[in-house]
């Protein structure tokens, strides 16, 4: 499997925040979720990858091409969904589309119409009158209408109602079916990742603290619940995080097999959600 996106040693410094030497790659054919607390640096990473923020160091390769040297070609081949403030408020969606479409060599009006209908958007409606969710839907329509090989999206489902969010997830799954594609998106809605992500990155304070295949990550961890008095003295070494109460303990472990040998048989081991994993790791790093 080829890498559709490769980031090596990315550094971006702001006066009170730094992205600290981030490296990762996205294999072709994967939906990759990018998660982290508010201010962790997700938008900064995406903006640096897209050349919207000038990086201080690092190399970004998209489709094997250096992003600085091949900016135009790469932009033609990717679909971007960011905070949609770059739309002109005085225009209708139809007029905005007419400005954007010629910038793409593979623009498809048929796809545009299909997605506008799917998302129930009226092309004649003025952009200034769109709700936040409608603006996001319009941004998605534009990103999906030029045969993009990679979708890069910053919180694309924020502001969407549950029905449209589920439609969006279906569209992403459909998009991936054609093969040779990739999706990279940041989100706070971890249930979306449970549904569609293959690969996950956790960002904390400008650093990637955990990354891997979603299923392996979930199988490699367990939420453990049991009697606190049965915990061995060095129990903290076995947990990413743990809390104890009068009723027992609950913790996240990445050493399930070792714990099973130490703890009583009535101890409960549950498959964690992405949210469980994220919360325990964030608490540990804090
Ligand atoms: P959220 O989930 O809240 O959207 P995020 O993970 O996307 O957060 P970023 O928007 O990347 O986080 O911000 C990371 C840090 O970089 C924050 O402390 C923010 O204040 C800072 N930052 C972002 N853009 C700038 C800028 N243009 N100038 C100075 N600081 C900035």
Query: pLDDT (tens digit, 9 = 90+) per residue, 154-203?
Result: 998 887 889 888 988 988 898 898 888 999 999 998 889 989 999 999 99
Nearest CA to ligand 1 atom 31: 14
| 227-248 per-position pLDDT tens digit | 999 898 888 899 999 999 888 9
pLDDT band of 1, cuts 50, 70, 90: low
152 pLDDT higher than 80 = yes
Lowest mean pLDDT among 84-93, 108-117, 226-235, 247-256: 84-93
Rounded to two decimals, the pTM is 0.91
Nearest CA to ligand 1 atom 26: 14
What crossing angle do the helices spanning 132-144 and 109-118 adopt, rounded to 10°?
150
- 216 burial (CB, 10 Å; 0-12 / 13-18 / 19+) is exposed
200-223 confidence digits (pLDDT tens): 999 999 999 999 999 999 999 999
Q: 34-64: per-residue pLDDT in tens? A: 999 899 999 999 999 999 999 999 999 999 9
pLDDT value of residue 84: 52
Q: Pick the atom of ligand 1 nearest to 44's CA.
A: 11
Please give the pLDDT value at position 286.
Answer: 79
Query: Which residue of 19, 40, 44 sits with most ligand 1 atoms within 8 Å of its CB, as the best mutation to test the pocket?
Result: 44
Q: Give the residue, out of 10, 18, 36, 41, with the most ligand 1 atoms within 8 A of its beta carbon, to mutate for a pocket test.
A: 41
Residue spans of alpha helices (H) in 78-236? 93-100, 109-118, 132-144, 162-177, 190-196, 214-219
Pocket of ligand 1 (CB under 6 A): 14, 17, 36, 38-44
């Amino acid at each position: 499997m080829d890498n559709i996106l490769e980031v090596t040693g990315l550094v971006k410094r702001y006066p009170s925040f730094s992205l600290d030497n981030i490296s990762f790659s996205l294999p072709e054919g994967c939906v990759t979720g990018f998660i982290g607390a508010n201010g962790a640096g997700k938008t900064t990473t995406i903006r640096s990858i897209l050349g919207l923020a000038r990086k201080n160091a690092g190399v970004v390769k998209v489709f094997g091409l250096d992003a600085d040297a091949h900016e135009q070609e790469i932009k033609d081949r990717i679909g971007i969904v960011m905070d949609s403030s770059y739309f002109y408020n005085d225009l209708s969606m139809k007029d905005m589309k007419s400005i954007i479409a010629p910038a793409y060599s593979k623009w498809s009006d048929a796809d545009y119409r299909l997605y506008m209908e799917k998302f129930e958007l009226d092309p004649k409606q003025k952009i200034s009158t769109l709700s936040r969710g409608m603006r996001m839907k319009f941004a998605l329509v534009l990103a999906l209408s030029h045969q993009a090989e990679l979708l890069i999206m910053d919180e694309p489902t924020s502001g969407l109602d549950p029905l449209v969010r589920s439609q969006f997830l279906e569209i992403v799954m459909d998009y991936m079916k054609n093969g040779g594609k990739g999706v990279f998106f940041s989100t706070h809605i971890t249930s979306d990742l449970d549904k569609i992500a293959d690969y996950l990155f956790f960002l904390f304070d400008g650093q990637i603290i955990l990354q891997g295949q979603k299923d392996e990550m979930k199988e490699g961890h367990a939420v453990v619940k049991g009697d606190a008095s049965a915990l061995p003295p060095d129990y903290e070494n076995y947990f990413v995080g743990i809390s104890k109460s009068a009723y027992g303990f609950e913790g996240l472990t990445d050493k399930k097999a070792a714990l099973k040998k130490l703890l009583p048989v009535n101890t409960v081991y549950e498959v964690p959600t992405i949210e469980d994993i994220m919360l325990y790791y964030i608490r540990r790093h804090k």
